[in-house]
Structure 1
Amino acid sequence: MRFAATCVTYQTQDDVAMLGFADDEFKTSRYVLLQKDLEPSQRDLELGHDTLYIEIDDQRHSRYGGVVKAQLQESRLVLKLDPQAAADMSVDDTIEISFRVPMERLKEISNQLRLLLGNDIVQVDASI
C-alpha cells in the first residue's frame, strides 16, 4: 500500500501518544493511525492492548501490535507488518507513506515514532 499524505499530525495527551497520516485533512479516504496508551490499565494489559494500535483506512483494518519495522526518511515512512498482522487486517504487509514537512517537524515525528514503537523497531535516516 502506498499513498501521499498531505496531513500529518501527532500529539501526546492524557498518556496517549498518537501519530497520523492522511491523504486529506477533511475529505480523508486513505490514512494510517498509530496510537499507544503510555499508562495502560490492568484490563488493557490483560487484553493485550498495552502495545501499539494501528488503523489503516477504517476500523475494520486495525489491530494491536504487528508492526515489526518502521523506516523514517526525509520524505517518507515505510512500515513493515508481520504477515499475520497484515492478514488479520486484510492489508499489504508494507505501507509506504510519502509526505513533506519541515525538518523540525520531521524530528518530532521521529521522536513520536520512537515513543510509539521503541528504538529497536524504528530506523531513522541519518540526515534527520
Structure 2
Amino acid sequence: MMSTFTANFIYAQADDENDVLMIGFADDQYDPQEYILLQLTMHPDEQDLALGFDKIHMTYNDESQSQYGGIEKVLLKPGSIEIYLDEEAIEALDCEAAVVRVNFDPDVLNLEERRELFEQMFGELLEIDAEAGLL
C-alpha cells in the first residue's frame, strides 16, 4: 500500500547557522493539510549519536506524528519521491502504508540544483531513477 499526496510547495535548504539540513514537501505553503518535513543534524555530536539524533527526523502531517529513523529507502523520480518506512515508523507516524509518495511538478523542484541536498540527507538510502536524468 502507498499513501500519496501532491506537493505544491517544496523547501530544501542546508541551514549552517542551526546545523540542520531540511527538506519539506507540503500541499500548501501557508496552510498545509498534508506535509512531510525531513530534518538531519549536519554535524552530530557524541550525545546526538548516543540518543539516535544522528538519524533523519521525519514529521508526517502533524508534530505528534514524528520520529528519528525508520526510513528504509528513498526513491527519487522526475515527478515524485517515495519514502519507504519500517514497521516502527509506520506506527509512530500514524501512516496508512509502508510507502509515502509525494508527487510534484518537476519544474518546481529542479533536481539537479538540489541533488547534493538529497544526497546529503539520505546518503545510501537514496536511489535516483534513471529517468530523473541525474545518474
Q: 2 CA distance for matches of 1:87 and 1:108?
A: 34
TM-score by length of 2: 0.87
Asked if 1 retains the 8 angstrom alpha-carbon contact of 2:10 and 2:109, the reply is no
Structure 1 residues 63-78: aligned runs within 5 Å: 63-78=67-82
Pairing 1:107–2:112 present: yes
Deviation at 1:41, TM superposition (A): 2.4
Structure 1 residues 84-99: aligned runs within 5 Å: 84-91=88-95, 92-99=97-104
The corresponding residue for 1:10 is 12
Q: 1 CA distance for matches of 2:32 and 2:108?
A: 25
Deviation at 1:87, TM superposition (A): 1.4
Q: 1 CA distance for matches of 2:128 and 2:40?
A: 20
The corresponding residue for 1:39 is 43
Q: 2 CA distance for matches of 1:20 and 1:54?
A: 10
Q: Amino acid of the residue matched to residue 122 of structure 1?
A: L
Q: Percent of counterpart pairs with the same letter?
A: 30
TM-score by length of 1: 0.91
Number of residue pairs the alignment of both structures matches: 127
Unaligned residue ranges in structure 1 (runs of 5+): none
Deviation at 1:63, TM superposition (A): 0.4
For 1:113, what is the secondary structure of its paired residue?
A: helix
Q: Cα distance 1:74–1:86, how it changes in 2: closer, same or farther (>3 A)?
A: same
Matching residue within 27, 33, 46 for 1:23: 27
